[in-house]
């Protein structure tokens, strides 16, 4: 783990590199010793991950390595410029993978705000990946460390973005299921919308249950 002084320097370098690229009219961070060092570090960490077969172990390694990049992430966020940074974008995905959802959404908000993209090796575009990965995490035994507020934040961030109906349906399903005990009427709206977008989600029993519950309350 880098020392506090090294992390401070990394944050400053990230902010400066991003700001300089924006001033020069560059659409992406493609050079500079600080960024090249981060790319090299990320490449080495990805090589380590490639040799690991266990998904659980891969996530453990990502969780261990992420703090080593936190200063770079903060520097990019502080600069707040429309500059493509493949290191930052990759770390946003790692943050989702490891359950650091608040950090992931802050990073995703930056990327979406500036119409930035994921590195080319990702098959899905940014909004689709964010929605699908976070919605699917709610199915994990611990709920994937995703709260109702997180899901609503995802919806707000991506409401105007194009994506497959099936992916949008996953988000509405996750929100609906999370709201069942908090706000049954809102839960029902989201579940019905999910079913409209993807009739194969198997939500009819849950919708009937909520409908009956609301009718009884009325």
Q: Is the pLDDT of residue 203 over 80?
A: yes
pTM for the whole thing?
0.90
Whether 114 and 10 share a structural domain: yes
pLDDT at 26: 55
Residue 14 confidence class, pLDDT cut points 50, 70, 90 = confident
What is the Rg, in whole angstroms, of the alpha carbon atoms belonging to the chain? 20
Domain boundary among 76, 92, 122: 122
The residue-averaged pLDDT of 212-218 equals 87
> Long-range contact list for 156-162, CB < 8 A, 24+ apart?
157/105, 157/108, 157/109, 157/112, 157/127, 157/130, 158/112, 158/127, 158/130, 158/131, 161/112, 161/127, 162/127
Whether 1 shows a pLDDT value over 80: the answer reads no
Q: Are residues 73 and 134 in the same domain?
A: no
Q: Are residues 106 and 154 in the same domain?
A: no
pLDDT score for 27: 47
Of 122, 144, 159, which residue is a domain's last? 122
pLDDT at site 29 = 63
**Domain span holding position 198:** 124-218
* Number of compact structural domains in the chain: 2
What is the CATH classification number for the domain harbouring 156? 1.25.40
- What average pLDDT does this structure show over 114-133? 96
Residue 57 confidence (pLDDT): 97
pLDDT surpassing 60 at residue 85: yes
Q: Could you tell me the pLDDT band of residue 32, with boundaries at 50, 70 and 90?
A: low
Residues 141-195 pLDDT 10s: 888 999 999 999 999 999 999 999 999 999 999 999 999 999 999 999 999 999 9
| CA nearest neighbour of 107 among 140, 139, 130 | 130
Q: Where does the pLDDT of residue 41 fall: very low under 50, low under 70, confident under 90, or very high at 90 and above?
A: very high
Q: Provide the mean pLDDT of the chain.
A: 91
Regarding whether 182 and 86 lie in a shared domain, the answer is: no
């Amino acid at each position: 783990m880098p020392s506090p002084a090294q992390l401070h320097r990394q944050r400053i370098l990230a902010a400066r590199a991003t700001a300089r690229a924006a001033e020069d009219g560059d659409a992406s961070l493609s050079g500079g010793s600080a960024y090249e060092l981060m790319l090299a570090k990320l490449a080495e960490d990805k090589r380590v991950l490639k040799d690991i077969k266990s998904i659980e172990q891969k996530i453990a390694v990502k969780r261990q390595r992420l703090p080593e990049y936190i200063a770079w992430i903060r520097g990019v966020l502080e600069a707040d410029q429309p500059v493509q940074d493949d290191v930052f974008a990759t770390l946003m995905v790692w943050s989702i993978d490891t359950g650091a959802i608040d950090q992931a959404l802050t990073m995703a908000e930056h990327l979406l705000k500036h119409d930035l993209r994921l590195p080319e090796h990702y098959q899905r575009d940014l909004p689709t990946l964010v929605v699908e990965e976070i919605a699917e995490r709610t199915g994990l035994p611990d709920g994937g460390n995703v709260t109702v507020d997180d899901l609503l934040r995802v919806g707000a961030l991506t409401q105007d973005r194009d994506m497959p109906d099936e992916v949008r349906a996953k988000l509405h399903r996750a929100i609906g299921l999370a709201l069942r005990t908090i706000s049954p009427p809102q839960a029902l709206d989201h579940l019905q919308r999910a079913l409209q977008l993807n009739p194969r989600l198997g939500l009819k029993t849950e919708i009937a249950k909520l409908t009956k519950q609301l009718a009884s309350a009325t």
